[in-house]
């Protein structure tokens, strides 16, 4: 018996549940069922096991039923059918009182919008779980302060949630759950409301916590990169059903159906990103009008040492370095004669993987030029590296 | 197969409602009496306490409270000080305190019932589905309708006033509480559940604190509605400023009506501003240190102790005076009855009675004498005018016979109109008879008259109040227009204007009538001395008109009565010996 086992868990909202169930069994889509019966399929026939100390990620697009699934684990939503075993006891069959004990001692939750009580201070929020359990005041203060201390928030303990940034608030949410020292932690899109940088920090923090003490974590996200970073195993959901469960590697290398293929395509960005996704605006000089002084002053203003040379119709003619411009000024030459005509060009839909080899040994940026020879933008090394790094902000 | 035409058969809804209230009145009498007794005692306790404090001291205390309550701004304290001084200056202080007590108790009861009900509604969709239409019904039903069962259940005075106010003012508190709890973000509710809170923990740590500002807004609404009910409740004898407004309406005194109304406005604004203070959104405020908390507790405790002490002292004072036997006189706010009731009240006071005067609608007054909540009234016009009421209640009251002989009712017109009898009327005065209160005896007689005379079959009777009628009469005479009124004498209008009664060949407006004194059934055994005085009380039309004229010329009813008593010592002596 694993720490958490879920068998045939199903949730149908609304009326005519029987009819809806029959339709689900026939693989009819969610929208069809809603049209026919007026019932919404939240989750259908979910089966999985989670070992103690494992981070189990459930992911899917919005409306795939992942939030409903996680809420059934602690019975915030009552399942229509199925069993949920925590340490071998079926939560779905428990009465109010038994369920309350399980929620107090075994399973806690962190919410997407933090779920902090606006009328309580940070400390009062953090000790809430302990207060509910009836822990003596001194003792719960101590535990809550310790939890806040490990989240580096002790200084803020007498502040109110609305005085804190999003990241801090979510650390409070996490501290509130951890102060209780639960066996299982449910995290419902816990980092989705934070900005990308803080999100990475929080992911790191969570992994650090896991190193100190192995907890069972059920983590919900719609962001595959997040799932790959922190998940020991990942379950992908769509239309209320779990399509595949496996490690990140298994899912990337062996997607079991087209939906998942499409889903994981995103992650190998070098295969889908093209030149036009990463090009920046070019600094140009119009060599039919400008002389070397104009070109040099533009370089000073833009803080660059090189400009792309174009004609009036923005046709790419070459590149102009600062040295070449100085030479032209000294020798009174027109710019036309000092530009370097050997600029490497790529078309806008060149894949990043191909650009990578080109830019690697090119001293100058690459120019992005369309089929008519018109200059659209430039690609610099930094942007390529940035794009290749796994960045969750664009999920 | 016989076809039953449902449109020719009127459903007996009114009858059923009557049956139900009668059943309740007889079967729950003990319960209602207990509430009436307890409620009256509590409200007297509060009012006595408030009135025990010198008004100026109370005004200063409230101003100080306003100053500290409004974070040391000057607007609210200035308003409190000037507004209350104005009310005191206008001699409406007692009325203000009575009104305040009524509003306080009505609001408290509304809150005590409303908040739990609102919580229950928020937690249970079925309860919401049942309660919501009931609340809509309560709020849209005209408040006058509640007055009728209120009198049946609780008699007259403060308690039925509170009952009616509560029904009228309860809905906002319930609605806002329900709304506030339902509006708490779902995630927060999930959070409390996820940590395994019991429903009680959820209520006190999340729902009530989060809902507090909205609930306060609801309570504020409730208080304002209770305030707006005081005028209506005064029709069934609730004391306070409402009585002044109502009396001003019945006598068409624009000035006094305006002043009493203004006093209500001042009270409303002060209460509103004070309660707004509690109605502030959740915000981060610095935590109090233990020492500050202790100080706060001391201050609040001190204030509470002081209030209890003052209330106690005020009531101790009134208890020591309670040795006086009390007699409750009811009257309708007609000029004739104001005169006679004030005279007999003054006579009884001189004989060592504590007299409570209650102004009521005529029908309610008869009912109140019959059920014993009023001891006596000296304005029963018999046999015709109040004949119907006499028929209805004569088994439950004692008729002590006439106290004034030879009064007259009739349709009256200004003497410049060239009609002399009711049968001469054809299309004068827009075919309208300008009447008084719908419950008055003369109104019933006028209705009978409209039916009896064939030339009046397309005439109509427009009821209003005796004050409004005299204003309309005054206007018509000044503009030399035609008007037909329901008149009665003795009345000062016959002295002031040239009026004539229309001859009444069918005698539907009654032949010559007398004014009787009627008392509750067991007054003779309860209070023999008062019974004897009331029994002997008789005077003449001229006596009454002299008092009426004094009152109409601006003397207060009590002063006019005292003046008359001074001038007729012999007559009064004959009543009391």
Same domain, yes or no: A21 and A84: yes
Same domain, yes or no: A211 and A319: no
Please name the member of B194, B198, B206 whose beta carbon is closest to the beta carbon of A117: B206
Give how far B302 is from chain A: nearest CA, Å.
28
- The chain B residues in contact with chain A (CB within 8 A) are 185, 187-188, 190-198, 201, 205-206, 209-210, 282, 284, 286-287
Residue A152 lies in a domain: no
Domain of A333, in residue numbers? 276-390
Residue B271 has pLDDT above 50, yes or no: yes
Residues of B in contact with A186 (CB under 8 A): 194
Domain boundary among A216, A236, A267: A267
Residue A190 lies in a domain: yes
Residues B240/B93, Cβ–Cβ less than 8 Å: no
**pLDDT for the residue numbered A339:** 84
Same domain, yes or no: A241 and A295: no
Residue by residue, pLDDT tens for chain A (395 residues) are 789 999 989 998 888 888 888 887 787 778 888 888 888 888 988 999 999 999 999 998 888 899 999 999 999 999 988 999 999 899 999 999 999 999 999 999 999 999 999 999 999 999 999 999 999 999 999 999 999 998 889 999 999 999 999 889 999 999 999 999 999 999 999 998 888 888 888 898 899 888 888 899 999 998 888 888 899 999 999 888 888 888 888 888 888 888 888 877 655 555 556 777 778 888 888 888 888 888 888 888 888 888 888 888 888 888 888 888 888 888 888 888 888 888 888 888 777 777 777 777 777 778 888 888 888 888 877 777 766 664 434 43
CATH number at residue A373: 3.10.580.10
Give how far A299 is from chain B: nearest CA, Å.
52
Euclidean distance between CA atoms B290 and A372, whole angstroms: 79
Euclidean distance between CA atoms A1 and A52, whole angstroms: 10
Chain B interface, mutation test: which of A112, A120, A121, A128, most B Cβ atoms within 10 Å?
Answer: A128
Same domain, yes or no: A295 and A256: no
CATH number at residue A22: 3.40.50.300
> C-alpha angle B538/B544/B547, rounded to 5°?
130
Same domain, yes or no: A211 and A343: no
Please name the member of B188, B210, B282 whose beta carbon is closest to the beta carbon of A115: B188
**pLDDT for the residue numbered B6:** 64
Same domain, yes or no: A363 and A239: no
Residues of B in contact with A162 (CB under 8 A): 284
Residue A146 lies in a domain: no
What is the reported pTM?
0.75
**pLDDT for the residue numbered A392:** 38
Please name the member of B191, B206, B286 whose beta carbon is closest to the beta carbon of A111: B191
The conformation of residue B374, written as its DSSP 8-state character, comes to S
Same domain, yes or no: A284 and A213: no
Chain B interface, mutation test: which of A117, A131, A170, most B Cβ atoms within 10 Å?
Answer: A117
Burial A329-341 (b: 16+ CB within 10 A, else e): beeeeebeebbee
Residue A155 lies in a domain: no
Fold observed for domain B21-52+91-282+291-316: MetI-like fold (1.10.3720)
Same domain, yes or no: A188 and A313: no
Hey, which residues 175-204 in chain A have their CB within 8 Å of chain B?
A: 180, 186
The residues with which B486 forms a beta bridge, in sequence order, are B411
Give chain B's mean pLDDT. 86
Same domain, yes or no: A236 and A113: yes
Residue A293 lies in a domain: yes
Q: Domain B327-576, CATH 3.40.190.10 — does that match?
A: yes
Residues B279/B21, Cβ–Cβ less than 8 Å: no
Tokens 């199925």 correspond to what residue?
Answer: A82
Residues of B in contact with A104 (CB under 8 A): 195-196
Residue B426 has pLDDT above 70, yes or no: yes
Specify the number of domains making up chain A: 2
Instruction: Find the mean pLDDT for residues B40-56.
Output: 85
Cβ neighbours of residue A327 closer than 8 Å, sequence gap 6 or more: A333, A338
Instruction: Find the mean pLDDT for residues B395-410.
Output: 88
**pLDDT for the residue numbered B322:** 56
Q: Which residue has the higher pLDDT, B252 or B551?
A: B551
**Chains A and B: how many Cβ contacts under 8 Å?**
67
Residue A360 lies in a domain: yes
**pLDDT for the residue numbered A393:** 40
Residue boundaries of the structural domains of chain B: 21-52+91-282+291-316, 327-576
Instruction: Find the mean pLDDT for residues B422-428.
Output: 87
Residues of A in contact with B194 (CB under 8 A): 74, 76, 103, 108-109, 186
Same domain, yes or no: A19 and A90: yes
Could you give the percent of chain B with pLDDT greater than 70?
Answer: 95
Question: Which of A388-392, B47-51, B187-191, B234-238 has the largest mean confidence?
Answer: B187-191
**pLDDT for the residue numbered B121:** 95
Same domain, yes or no: A38 and A77: yes
Chain A interface, mutation test: which of B196, B198, B212, most A Cβ atoms within 10 Å?
Answer: B196
The distance of Cα A160 from the centroid of its chain, to the nearest Å, equals 28
Residue B422 has pLDDT above 50, yes or no: yes
Instruction: Find the mean pLDDT for residues B367-372.
Output: 87
In chain B, helix, strand, coil percent, each to 5? Answer: 65, 10, 25
Element (H, E) at B552: helix B541-552
For B7-37, the pLDDT digits (tens) are: 778 888 888 988 888 888 888 888 888 888 8
Domain boundary among A229, A244, A267: A267
**pLDDT for the residue numbered A70:** 94
What is the SS3 assignment for A374? strand
Distances (CA, A) of B297 to A252, A367, B69, B306: 65, 76, 16, 14
Same domain, yes or no: A202 and A60: yes
Residue A163 lies in a domain: no
Side-chain half-sphere of A112: how many Cα atoms within 13 Å? 14
Q: Are B210 and A118 an interchain contact pair (Cβ–Cβ within 8 Å)?
A: yes
The conformation of residue B556, written as its DSSP 8-state character, comes to -
């Amino acid at each position: 018996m694993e720490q958490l086992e879920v068998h045939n868990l199903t949730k149908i909202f609304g009326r005519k549940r029987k009819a809806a169930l029959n339709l689900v069994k026939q693989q009819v889509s969610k929208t069809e069922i809603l049209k026919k019966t007026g019932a919404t399929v939240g989750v259908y026939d979910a089966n999985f096991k989670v070992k103690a100390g494992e981070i189990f990620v459930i992911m899917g697009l919005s409306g795939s039923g992942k939030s409903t699934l996680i809420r059934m684990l602690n019975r915030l939503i009552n399942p229509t059918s199925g069993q949920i075993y925590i340490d071998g006891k079926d939560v779905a069959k428990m009465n109010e009182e038994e369920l309350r004990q399980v929620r107090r001692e075994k399973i806690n939750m962190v919410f997407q919008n933090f779920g902090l009580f606006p009328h309580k201070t940070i400390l009062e929020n953090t000790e809430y779980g302990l207060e509910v359990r009836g822990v003596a005041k001194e003792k719960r203060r101590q535990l809550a302060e310790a939890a806040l201390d490990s989240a580096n928030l002790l200084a803020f303990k007498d502040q109110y949630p609305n005085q804190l940034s999003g990241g801090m608030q979510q650390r409070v949410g996490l501290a509130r759950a951890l102060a209780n020292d639960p066996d299982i932690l449910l995290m419902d899109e816990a980092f989705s409301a934070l900005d990308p940088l803080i999100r990475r920090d929080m992911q790191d923090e969570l992994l650090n916590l896991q190193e100190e003490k192995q907890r069972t974590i059920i983590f919900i996200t719609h962001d595959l990169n997040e799932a790959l970073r922190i998940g020991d195993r990942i379950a992908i959901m769509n239309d209320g059903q779990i399509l595949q469960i496996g490690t990140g590697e298994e899912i990337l290398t062996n997607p079991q159906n087209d939906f998942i293929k499409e889903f994981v395509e995103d992650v190998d960005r070098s295969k889908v990103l093209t030149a036009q996704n990463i090009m920046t605006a070019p600094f140009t000089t119009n060599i039919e009008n400008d002389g070397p002084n104009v070109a040099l002053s533009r370089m000073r203003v833009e803080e660059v040492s090189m400009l792309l040379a174009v004609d009036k119709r923005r046709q790419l003619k070459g590149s102009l370095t600062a040295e070449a411009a100085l030479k032209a000024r000294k020798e009174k030459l027109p710019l036309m004669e000092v530009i370097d005509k050997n600029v490497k060009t790529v078309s806008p839909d060149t894949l990043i993987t191909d650009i990578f080899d080109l830019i690697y040994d090119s001293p100058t940026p690459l120019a992005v030029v369309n089929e008519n020879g018109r200059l659209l933008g430039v690609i610099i090394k930094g942007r390529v590296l940035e794009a290749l790094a796994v960045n969750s902000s664009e999920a | 197969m016989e076809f039953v035409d449902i449109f020719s058969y009127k459903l007996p809804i009114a009858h059923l409602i009557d049956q139900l209230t009668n059943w309740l009145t007889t079967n729950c009498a003990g319960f209602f009496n207990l509430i009436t007794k307890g409620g009256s005692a509590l409200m007297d306790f509060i009012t006595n306490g408030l009135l025990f404090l010198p008004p100026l001291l109370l005004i200063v205390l409230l101003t100080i409270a306003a100053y500290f309550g409004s974070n040391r701004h000057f607007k609210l304290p200035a308003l409190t000080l000037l507004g209350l001084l104005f009310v005191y200056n206008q001699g409406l202080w007692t009325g203000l305190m009575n009104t305040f007590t009524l509003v306080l108790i009505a609001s408290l009861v509304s809150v005590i019932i409303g908040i739990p009900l609102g919580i229950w509604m928020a937690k249970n969709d079925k309860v919401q589905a049942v309660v919501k239409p009931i609340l809509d019904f309560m709020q849209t039903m005209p408040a006058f309708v509640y007055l009728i069962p209120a009198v049946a259940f609780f008699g007259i005075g403060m308690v039925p006033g509170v009952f009616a106010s509560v029904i009228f003012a309860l809905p906002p508190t319930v609605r806002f509480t329900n709304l506030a709890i339902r509006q708490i973000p779902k995630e927060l509710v999930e959070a409390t559940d996820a940590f395994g809170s019991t429903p009680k923990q959820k209520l006190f740590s999340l729902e009530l604190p989060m809902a507090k500002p909205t609930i306060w807004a609801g309570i504020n609404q409730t208080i304002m509605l209770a305030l707006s009910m005081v005028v209506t409740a005064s029709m069934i004898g609730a004391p306070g400023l409402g009585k002044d407004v109502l009396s001003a309406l019945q006598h068409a005194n624009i000035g006094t009506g305006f002043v009493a109304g203004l006093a209500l406005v001042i009270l409303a604004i002060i209460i509103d501003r004070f309660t707004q203070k509690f109605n502030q959104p959740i915000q981060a405020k610095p935590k109090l240190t233990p020492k500050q908390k202790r100080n706060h507790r001391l201050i609040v405790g001190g204030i509470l102790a002081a209030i209890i002490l003052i209330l106690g002292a005020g009531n101790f004072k009134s208890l020591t005076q309670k040795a006086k036997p009390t007699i409750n006189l009811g009257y309708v706010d007609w000029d004739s009855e104001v005169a006679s009731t004030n005279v007999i009240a003054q006579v009884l006071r001189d004989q060592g009675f504590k007299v409570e005067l209650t102004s009521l609608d005529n029908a309610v007054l008869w009912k109140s004498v019959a059920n014993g909540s009023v001891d006596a009234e000296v304005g029963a016009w018999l046999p015709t005018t109040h004949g119907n009421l006499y028929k209805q209640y004569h088994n439950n009251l004692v008729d002590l016979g006439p106290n004034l002989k030879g009064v007259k009712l009739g349709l009256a017109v200004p003497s410049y109109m060239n009609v002399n009898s009711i049968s001469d009327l054809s299309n004068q005065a827009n075919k309208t008879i300008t009447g008084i209160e719908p419950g008055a005896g003369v109104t019933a007689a006028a209705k009978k008259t409209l039916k009896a005379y064939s030339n009046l079959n397309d005439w109509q009777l427009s009821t209003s109040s005796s004050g409004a009628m005299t204003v309309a009469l005054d206007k018509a005479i000044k503009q030399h227009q035609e008007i037909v009124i329901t008149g009665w004498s003795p009345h000062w209008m016959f002295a002031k204007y040239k009026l004539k009664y229309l001859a009444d060949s069918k005698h539907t407006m009654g032949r010559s009538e007398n004014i009787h004194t009627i008392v509750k059934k067991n007054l003779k055994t309860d209070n023999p001395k008062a019974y004897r005085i009331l029994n002997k009380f008789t005077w003449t039309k001229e006596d009454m008109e002299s008092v009426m004229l004094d009152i109409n010329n601006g003397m207060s009813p009590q002063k006019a009565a005292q003046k008359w008593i001074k001038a007729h010592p012999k007559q009064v002596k004959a009543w009391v010996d």
